[in-house]
Chain A
Amino acid sequence: MKGTAAHIVRTLLLSLITLFGVSVLIFLMLRVLPGDPARVLAGLNASEEQVARLREQLGLDQSLLGQYWSFITGVLTGDLGESARTSRPVSSEIAVRLPATLILAVTATVIGSVVGITAGVIAAVRRGSFLDHAISSVAMMGVSMPVYWLGLLLILLFAVTLGWLPAAGSGEPLSIVLPAVTLAAFSTALVSRMTRASMLEVLGQDYIRTAEAKGAAPRTVIIKHGLRNAFIPILTVISLQFGALLGGAVLTETVFGWPGIGRLLVDSIGARDFAVVQGIVLVYAAVFILLNVIVDVLYVVVDPRIRY
């Protein structure tokens, strides 16, 4: 475990360097985007003087280095600046919107993991059966269905036709059902494919035969000996998927009017609201890094043979 602690410290130090790199990259990428933020914010009817004044207020008249310096010194003192679009502090803009996206991504990940692993195990155990083929076909659909289309279809069925669920927003406890299911479709399919492949590999191993021979209950064999050993690649897929869901939630958030951070990011890019975009991307990067550290630790828990 000692080695693991050192490994985590090393990872965290590397993370800081990564975050610094991300900050430089996102800063520069925003600056090369065409479009003058002051003009976009001031609106189509604003006079040239108004735009120039706004440019000054936003600090866009400073040199690039000067702008980056104020941004990064702000970040280091915990100040992400102000949104040019809403005049509210970036930190509070993010704090208001991040939870919704996290709840959505976590729910979708749970759905994806539970359903995906279950389906994958069944498909592996009943290999070649009708059920296996059915699961494969559904997974194929899940991977290839556009989020927009699936989301609108679910809204039509469950909100308009059946009237069971809210069509949009996050105002009621049940509001999360449709967006979470929509967001989970792709990862469920992916996790089930991965589980099936990984399980098949493990189920062919000698120790499975040994376990069966010594009379262990089939359930024990599949779960304890099979799934546990097949779990590392599955865990990797799930954690990668969670990251992808955080970033990819924007379409789902748009379709379902879910008040998450993905939509704020898109709105902010559209308004060339640099401070907010920079803040969100940094927060994303930090979440990803944290996720990687957690997964590293989980590997050790799942597989005692892993040592750092």
Chain B
Amino acid sequence: MNTTTTARRRTSRTRSLAAAAALALLVGACSVEDPEAPAADGEGGGGTFSIAVGIDPDTFDPAGQTTTTVQNMVDYVVETLVTVDDEGTVGPRLAETFETSEDGLTVTLGLVEGAQFHDGTPFNAEAVKFNLERIIDPALTVPLGSPFEVIQSVTAVDESTVEITLSRPSPGFLSALSVTTAGMISPASVEAEGNTNLNYQNPVGTGPYTFEDYTAGESVTVQKFADYWGEEPHYDTVSFRIVPEAATRESLLLAGQVDMIILPPVSDIEALQDNDEVEVLLAPSDRTIFIALDNNDPLLSNPQVRQALNYAVDKQAIVDSVLFGAAEVMDAPMAPSLFGYCETGSYDHDPDRARQLLADAGAEGATLDLLTPSGRYVQDAQAAEAIAGYLREVGLTVNVTTSDFPSFLARVNAPPSPETVDMHLLGWAPAYLDADFQMQMFRQATHPPAGLGTAFYTNPEVEEILTRADVEIDPDTREQLYCDASEIIWDDAPWIFLWTQSFPIVHSTDVEGIGSTPTEKFDAIYARPVG
């Protein structure tokens, strides 16, 4: 008797304790600073602009860049000599003028006046020479360094003129100078505070923002540079929040805790488009997604079979239902944003034709393995499953396997062997917007293990055209050559041509001045509050 009453009293005590704890939590919660805080302060600049991204930076050394997300942050601090616009046309940045000699072996740059590095070092021809020599230094690992291997020597003619001598004509070289890899860092900073040449942690560039702080796994902060040579940006501080989970990035934006995010969950794009408080940009990117077919395989070496596979898959349906519209079906072996692209053809969904072609080739009911990474590209494993479904509809047996990316890479980057997988889903995004970067995928020189020409495709006719394009200085002629090569490749169908991925950017409607580049980057340096 006694016990029960006390027990009851005990529980009521516990209950009041729990209530007190809950209350404390609430009171604490209510005293949080207004979550609207990141929003802009309005007039006369100032304030913080915050962006949620998904990747924790590996290195801030421009030369060491591997991902567009990290390049995007470095671009706030470090500038390149030239830019490339949506059309693939080269424009000025730190180099006001750029000229290539008749023979294509000399590139002359005229530098802007008045640019200086954040540490006070003047930006001049010597600095350019230092940087270009640095990215071809064998002691340094430069993941995106291959286009610069043609540099033979760099000469500082005078304070603002640089002459670059190439070992052979390289039409894509100027475009390559727009990649963050070739960004200009202060020569003095390489051996200063916390930096060494091989381990460059605190970037010092000429950009509108100075590198302020990196908290591992948490955020990167940059501050406005008072002596910037170009147009002054609006915000004093830009904060990149590192948030690996797409749904959490979306929540941060919807809660008003950041101003902009990249790569929301694709399944939510439609809902975000219907939301009045945010703006969705589905930026076209240069990343093509495809199924590379093993062109050495007895069955897949037959172009009829490869064409059949292209006809069998309803790409548009997969884009609509699996990728939620965040892609454009390919109509050429490259993305439309590349110089040298021309609309080449289409493999419309035609299962009857696919069956017919398979029958003609004696490949009915064949068994094929399909390997796909999971979580590397937008909806990659899900898309692979859908593709397998379409291939089964035309009578093939398809086994899908997924693996993590390093294991996947080890398999598809191996020399040809009986172990080579029949088909694999892969994505490829040229670092600069030129067809030669994409065409590497169709050349003998890049057959694994040398490179990522993982379809082992080769065609003497294509090789001949591309060899001519490699050294063709006249842009119109070069464009035509890539067009011709594209036609042949399209008919040969070394891949199942799938789609060009979109790069979704979502920002609050309280800010404007946000755009994108076709190389999977956002362009938000000049973002500002609305009104």
B212-223 vs A, CB cutoff 8 Å, 1 = contact: the mask equals 000111110000
Residue in A closest to B403 when the chains form the complex, CB atoms: A34
Query: CB-CB < 8 A to A45: which residues of B?
Result: 143-144, 146, 431, 452
**Which of A16-24, A138-146, A153-161, A277-285 touches B?**
A153-161
Query: CB-CB < 8 A to B248: which residues of A?
Result: 152, 155, 167-168, 255-257
Residue in B closest to A262 when the chains form the complex, CB atoms: B217
CB-based contact A167/B255 at 8 Å: yes
B159 contacts partner chain A, Cβ-Cβ < 8 Å: no
B417 contacts partner chain A, Cβ-Cβ < 8 Å: no
CB-based contact B30/A169 at 8 Å: no
A43-56 vs B, CB cutoff 8 Å, 1 = contact: the mask equals 11111101001100
CB-based contact B251/A156 at 8 Å: yes
CB-based contact A264/B216 at 8 Å: yes
Query: CB-CB < 8 A to A254: which residues of B?
Result: 244-245
Query: CB-CB < 8 A to A118: which residues of B?
Result: 14, 17-18
CB-based contact B431/A271 at 8 Å: no
How distant is the Cα of A86 from the Cα of B65 in the complex, in angstroms? 11
CB-based contact A40/B256 at 8 Å: no
Residue in B closest to A255 when the chains form the complex, CB atoms: B245
CB-based contact B410/A36 at 8 Å: yes
Query: CB-CB < 8 A to A87: which residues of B?
Result: 59, 198-199, 201
In the complex, chain B residues 220-253 whose Cβ is within 8 Å of any chain A Cβ: 241-245, 247-249, 251-252
How distant is the Cα of A257 from the Cα of B450 in the complex, in angstroms? 37
Q: Which listed residue (B59, B215, B251, B413) contacts A167, Cβ 8 A? A: B251
How distant is the Cα of A41 from the Cα of B423 in the complex, in angstroms? 24
By the criterion of a CB under 8 Å from any partner CB, how many residues of chain B are at the interface?
66
CB-based contact B252/A54 at 8 Å: no
Query: CB-CB < 8 A to A224: which residues of B?
Result: none
Q: How far is the CB of B146 from chain A (nearest CB, A)?
A: 6
Q: Which listed residue (B52, B241, B243, B254) contacts A160, Cβ 8 A? A: B254
**Residues A100 and B217 in contact in the complex (CB < 8 Å), given A42-B141, A257-B241, A270-B406:** yes
B418 contacts partner chain A, Cβ-Cβ < 8 Å: no
How distant is the Cα of A82 from the Cα of B199 in the complex, in angstroms? 11
CB-based contact B145/A50 at 8 Å: yes
Q: How far is the CB of A46 from chain B (nearest CB, A)?
A: 5
Query: CB-CB < 8 A to A156: which residues of B?
Result: 251
Query: CB-CB < 8 A to B413: which residues of A?
Result: 36, 39
**Residues A259 and B217 in contact in the complex (CB < 8 Å), given A53-B141, A218-B10:** yes
In the complex, chain A residues 201-218 whose Cβ is within 8 Å of any chain B Cβ: 212, 217-218
Chain B CB within 10 A, most for which of A152, A163, A256, A270: A163
B56 contacts partner chain A, Cβ-Cβ < 8 Å: yes
B517 contacts partner chain A, Cβ-Cβ < 8 Å: no
CB-based contact A125/B251 at 8 Å: no
B404 contacts partner chain A, Cβ-Cβ < 8 Å: yes
How distant is the Cα of A270 from the Cα of B56 in the complex, in angstroms? 12
Query: CB-CB < 8 A to B58: which residues of A?
Result: 85-86, 271
CB-based contact A131/B198 at 8 Å: no
Query: CB-CB < 8 A to A167: which residues of B?
Result: 248, 251-252, 255, 257
Q: Which listed residue (B2, B143, B241) contacts A218, Cβ 8 A? A: B2
A298 contacts partner chain B, Cβ-Cβ < 8 Å: no
CB-based contact B30/A125 at 8 Å: no
CB-based contact B251/A257 at 8 Å: no
How distant is the Cα of A41 from the Cα of B65 in the complex, in angstroms? 10
How distant is the Cα of A257 from the Cα of B441 in the complex, in angstroms? 36
Known A-B contacts: A163-B35, A260-B217, A264-B216. Give 10 more (CB < 8 A): A42-B143, A53-B138, A152-B251, A163-B255, A167-B252, A169-B219, A218-B7, A254-B244, A257-B242, A263-B244
Q: List 17 A-B contacts (CB under 8 A).
A: A34-B407, A36-B409, A40-B405, A42-B143, A88-B201, A125-B7, A152-B245, A159-B35, A159-B252, A160-B254, A166-B32, A168-B241, A172-B32, A174-B28, A219-B10, A254-B245, A270-B404
